[in-house]
Amino acid sequence: MKKQVLAFDLDDTLFDAVENFIPFTNKKYKTHFVFDKIRNSDVLNERVPINEEIYRWKEFFESKFGLAIKPEPRIKEAISRLHKKYSLIIISARDLPLQKSARKWVRINFPKTFSKIYFIKTKAGKLSKAEICIKNKAILHVDDNPKHIKDCLKKGVPCILVNRPWNKNKNLPVKRMNNVNYSDIENFLNN
Ligand SMILES: [Mg+2]
């Protein structure tokens, strides 16, 4: 029998991207961004032009520091247990210049675990995470971004929101968890 599909966002779902990026970029550019005060998926809060922000992210993700970031043991354990039962995919909204380092990070930290990495931003245009879930018949999508969660809810894709500073004030009718972990996901799937 074909395994059922679970979909995961990458950044701030499978590892702490923003939490590591903030001190890295603050040090380099002498800025003072504070992780707990991030309220927008545009992390640098429109204080630098978007191309400059992408450049800073690229620098971070491709640095030794960025590539050495590990997923928390609890996340690693959850993914490895879920992998035995389900087919796992990643759906990421990373901009084009940041996609190569995403593949590399996943290869290092979750070798042979995810059957596919989808990027919603492509040269041909933009897709939606919910649509990719529907195409793959995913029975769950896990994400930290309220925008993607809202879209999944609208299109009937079951989802869990990972608690992060930029979504804590969003009132969404959705199950939340503090971090990816096995028991919360199993409980969700069994109910
Ligand atoms: Mg994310």
Q: Are strands 125-126 and 121-122 parallel, antiparallel or unpaired?
A: antiparallel
Specify whether 157 is located in the same domain as 118: yes
- How does residue 16 score in pLDDT terms, banded at 50, 70 and 90? very high
Task: Return d(Cα 144, Cα 174) in angstroms, integer.
Answer: 12
* CATH label of the domain that carries residue 143: 3.40.50.1000
pLDDT digits (tens, 9 = 90+) for 83-124: 999 999 999 999 999 999 999 999 999 999 999 999 999 999
- State in Å: Cα 168 to ligand 1 middle: 14
- State in Å: Cα 180 to ligand 1 middle: 12
Specify whether 126 is located in the same domain as 149: yes
| Domain endpoint, select from 25, 49, 68 | 68
Neighbours of 51 (CB within 10 A): 10
pLDDT digits (tens, 9 = 90+) for 124-157: 999 999 999 999 999 999 999 999 999 999 999 9
Specify whether 140 is located in the same domain as 76: yes
- State in Å: Cα 1 to ligand 1 middle: 31
Specify whether 161 is located in the same domain as 120: yes
Residue 49: per-residue pLDDT: 85
Is-contact 164 12, C-beta < 8 A? yes
Specify whether 115 is located in the same domain as 51: no
Distances (CA, A) of 60 to 23, 27, 161: 10, 12, 25
pLDDT of residue 44 exceeding 80, the answer is: no
- State in Å: Cα 149 to ligand 1 middle: 11
Neighbours of 41 (CB within 10 A): 17
Task: Report the chain's terminal Cα–Cα distance, integer Å.
Answer: 22
Specify whether 102 is located in the same domain as 78: yes
Task: Show the CA angle centred on residue 145, arms to residues 139 and 151, nearest 5°.
Answer: 55
- State in Å: Cα 185 to ligand 1 middle: 17
- State in Å: Cα 13 to ligand 1 middle: 6
Specify whether 93 is located in the same domain as 154: yes
Specify whether 88 is located in the same domain as 160: yes
Specify whether 168 is located in the same domain as 110: yes
Is-contact 145 120, C-beta < 8 A? no
Range of the structural domain that residue 23 is part of: 17-68
Q: Which of 66, 67, 68, 22 is nearest to 47 (CA)?
A: 22
Specify whether 82 is located in the same domain as 53: no
- State in Å: Cα 33 to ligand 1 middle: 18
How many domains does the chain contain in total? 2
Helices (H) and strands (E) in the chain, counts: 8, 8
45-55 mean pLDDT:
83
